Amino acid sequence: MIYLDNAATTFPKPQSVRRAAANSVMTMANPGRSGHRPAMAAGEMIYRCRVKASEFFGAGSVENVIFTPGCTYSANMVIKGLLKSGDHAVVSDMEHNAVMRPMHTMSEKGVAYTIARTGETDDETLASFRDALRSNTRLVICTHVSNVWGQRLPVERIAALCRQYGIPVMTDAAQSAGVFPINAEENGIDFICAPAHKGLYGTMGTGILIARHPELLKTITEGGTGSGSLSLSQPDFPPDKFESGTPNVPGIAALSAGLDFVKQTGVERIHDHEVKLVTYLYDRLSKMSSITLYTPRPNAMRNGGLLSFNVGNLSSEETAAYLFEKGIAVRAGLHCSPLAHRRYGTEKRGAVRISTSYFNTMNEMESAARAISMIAR
Ligand code: PMP
């Protein structure tokens, strides 16, 4: 099988990641609860992962790294932990339902929000965000790279704009973490939400929240933390304030090894490789008359390793099913991002999404191009 659904989760995982997850299951116990060796081993591993993640994302301090069950949970923690009735928020028109559904829930609780339209240029996108700001705007959310169209949004410039007004900024780095550099401190981003299992090559069901201003967040979950157990009040210091219950030890062990893999390989090298792959495919597909490509040719500054298209009048599901018969795994449909599809008029039909990882090759792109050209004919 040629796996081209890496935006859903990267597959395969590096051998070091598989080993780290297996090793944690075999040697580690519940951290922070007991003083015995397997518990201590887990606690030390988690601390090391926190240090790596803090450096990788510019968290400013290890306590600002919060492990979560996924990017969706991280986004919920920020949206529900920060906004309250009477507040206003701004979101881009490329947001995933990981952002839109909690925003919708908050809108039923008196939070208003405005959708800022992405433009053809970063200047246009920035202008949309500027126009959407109000005196009661308390949060601005902008995905870093669209999970449908692969284009990068100017989060750093949006953060600089919001800093002038003292408005916190959250970015959904689900498709960019490990593929584009992102640094909370350097880029002035208050909250970075990221899954461990995509570009960081960890395992599913693990995520991270980088909270440069954890004091702005109320908790959305409380419980045992192994600290201050006599008190019924949740600890008020991070990361304990936000990490109740037994942590996902194998997931964090995998993330730790994934961060090493990305660091050793180099974010720039991974990005260049993936963009080369999708650019090659784009050039092949753009010569086929019955293929609809919705976005401009990938560009290293503006794109991740992801490309969406449709073939003739086929539904995206039909094309994906045909590709799977040819041994090529892709994703069709709406990719949990109806807004992003509305932006390009594909909300009824969806689109076929090809998404790469560092492990894909040019030969695989050639095979995909040939299979697509057969469907097109
Ligand atoms: N945001 C975006 C842009 C995504 O692509 C995804 C994964 N489909 C998520 C959020 C949610 O990530 P997770 O499933 O790890 O919670």
Q: 285: domain CATH number?
A: 3.90.1150.10
Largest CA distance in the chain: 70
**For ligand 1, which residues put their CB under 6 angstroms from it?**
7, 70-72, 96, 98, 143, 147, 172, 174-175, 195, 207, 336
pLDDT class for 219, splitting at 50, 70, 90?
A: very high
Alpha carbons 255 and 150: distance in angstroms, whole number: 23
pLDDT at 33 over 80: no
The closest-lying atom of ligand 1 relative to the alpha carbon of residue 69 is 16
What type of residue is 151? Q
What is the arithmetic mean of pLDDT over 303-328? 96
pLDDT class for 174, splitting at 50, 70, 90?
A: very high
pLDDT class for 32, splitting at 50, 70, 90?
A: confident
Ligand 1 centroid to residue 113 C-alpha, Å: 21
* Residue 128 and residue 227 in one domain: yes
* Residue 271 and residue 225 in one domain: no
Pairing type for strands 65-68 and 207-211 reads: antiparallel
* Residue 73 and residue 175 in one domain: yes
Provide the whole-model pTM: 0.97
Ligand 1 centroid to residue 331 C-alpha, Å: 14
* Residue 173 and residue 285 in one domain: no
The closest-lying atom of ligand 1 relative to the alpha carbon of residue 207 is 15
* Residue 48 and residue 75 in one domain: yes
Q: What is the signed CA dihedral for 159, 241, 255, 188, rounded to 10 degrees?
A: 10
**Alpha helices, DSSP H, located in the chain:** 15-27, 37-57, 71-82, 97-107, 122-132, 155-165, 184-187, 249-265, 267-285, 316-325, 338-343, 362-376
Ligand 1 centroid to residue 174 C-alpha, Å: 5
pLDDT at 332 over 80: yes
Report if residue 2 sits inside a domain.
Answer: no
Q: Yes or no: say if 201 and 178 are a contact pair by the CB < 8 Å rule.
A: yes
The closest-lying atom of ligand 1 relative to the alpha carbon of residue 98 is 10
- Could you say which of 265, 290, 320 is where a domain stops? 265
What residues contact 23, with CB distance under 8 A and at least 6 apart? 253
Nearest CA to ligand 1 atom 7: 8
Looking at per-residue pLDDT, the higher value among 220 and 33 belongs to: 220
What is the domain extent for residue 272? 266-376
pLDDT class for 35, splitting at 50, 70, 90?
A: confident
Q: Yes or no: say if 179 and 305 are a contact pair by the CB < 8 Å rule.
A: yes
pLDDT class for 34, splitting at 50, 70, 90?
A: confident
Alpha carbons 204 and 254: distance in angstroms, whole number: 10
Percent of the chain past pLDDT 90, that is, above it, reads 97
* Residue 247 and residue 291 in one domain: no
Task: For a ligand 1 pocket test, name from 10, 71, 147, 206 the mutation site with the most ligand atoms within 8 angstroms of its C-beta.
Answer: 71
Of residues 146, 199, 139, the one with CA closest to residue 169: 139
| Token pair in block for residue 295 | 């976005």
Report if residue 273 sits inside a domain.
Answer: yes
pLDDT class for 70, splitting at 50, 70, 90?
A: very high
Task: For a ligand 1 pocket test, name from 10, 96, 155, 203 the mutation site with the most ligand atoms within 8 angstroms of its C-beta.
Answer: 96
Mean pLDDT of the chain: 97
Ligand 1 centroid to residue 36 C-alpha, Å: 36
Of residues 178, 152, 185, 345, the one with CA closest to residue 267: 178
| Token pair in block for residue 291 | 């293929």
* Residue 209 and residue 235 in one domain: yes
* Residue 62 and residue 142 in one domain: yes
User: What φ, ψ does residue 64 adopt, rounded to 5°?
Assistant: -80, 0
The closest-lying atom of ligand 1 relative to the alpha carbon of residue 195 is 15
Position 36 scores a pLDDT of: 94
Residue 350 falls in which region: left (phi positive, over 0), alpha (psi -120 to 50) or beta: left
* Residue 273 and residue 254 in one domain: no
- Could you say which of 212, 246, 265 is where a domain stops? 265
Alpha carbons 206 and 122: distance in angstroms, whole number: 31
* Residue 260 and residue 298 in one domain: no
Altogether, the residues listed in the chain come to a count of 377
What is the arithmetic mean of pLDDT over 216-242? 95
Report if residue 6 sits inside a domain.
Answer: no
Position 262 scores a pLDDT of: 98
* Residue 230 and residue 307 in one domain: no
User: What φ, ψ does residue 322 adopt, rounded to 5°?
Assistant: -65, -40
* Residue 177 and residue 49 in one domain: yes
Alpha carbons 51 and 217: distance in angstroms, whole number: 22
Nearest CA to ligand 1 atom 5: 147
Q: How many domains does the chain have?
A: 2
CATH of the domain at 249: 3.40.640.10
**Alpha helices, DSSP H, located in 231-356:** 249-265, 267-285, 316-325, 338-343
The closest-lying atom of ligand 1 relative to the alpha carbon of residue 205 is 15
What type of residue is 114? T
Report if residue 1 sits inside a domain.
Answer: no
Report if residue 34 sits inside a domain.
Answer: yes
pLDDT at 190 over 80: yes
Report if residue 284 sits inside a domain.
Answer: yes
The closest-lying atom of ligand 1 relative to the alpha carbon of residue 74 is 16
Ligand 1 centroid to residue 313 C-alpha, Å: 29
| Token pair in block for residue 6 | 């890496």
- Could you say which of 247, 265, 283 is where a domain stops? 265
Question: H-helix or E-strand containing 344?
Answer: none
Report if residue 347 sits inside a domain.
Answer: yes
Report if residue 31 sits inside a domain.
Answer: yes
Q: Yes or no: say if 248 and 67 are a contact pair by the CB < 8 Å rule.
A: yes
Pairing type for strands 88-92 and 112-116 reads: parallel
pLDDT at 10 over 80: yes
What type of residue is 285? L
Q: Yes or no: say if 147 and 175 are a contact pair by the CB < 8 Å rule.
A: yes
